[in-house]
Amino acid sequence: MPPAIGSIEQVDCFKLLGVLFQSSLKMDSHELYILTRCAQRMNILKLLCSQLMSIVQLSTVAYSLIIARVLYALPPWGGFISATHTIPTK
């Protein structure tokens, strides 16, 4: 890590209002964070589906857990998305 300038600490990545910003001006960390969260929440949807939840209820849960997460603050980071970014698997 580079030395601090005065009393200001330099960091490689920081979170501001739920969006991860990198010092390299890339959004890879945030994209990975979002994709990881969405993958975890897909498992919740699979569990609810196995519990025979109705499609209307599943749609509501999917929107609130996944779609809302992706859409939150999309303008600052959405332009950095490319086809090479995929949902991480275990």
| Residues 1-10 pLDDT 10s | 666 567 778 8
Top-confidence residue, 6 or 85: 6
pLDDT score of 88: 60
CB 63 within 8 A of CB 57: no
Residue 34: exposed, middle, or buried by beta-carbon count in 10 A (0-12, 13-18, 19+)?
A: buried
Q: Sorting pLDDT into bands at 50, 70 and 90, what band is 38?
A: very high
Q: Binning pLDDT at 50, 70 and 90, where does residue 78 land?
A: confident
Inter-CA distances, 8 with 3, 18, 26, 58, 77, Å: 10, 21, 21, 46, 25
- For the whole model, what pTM was predicted? 0.73
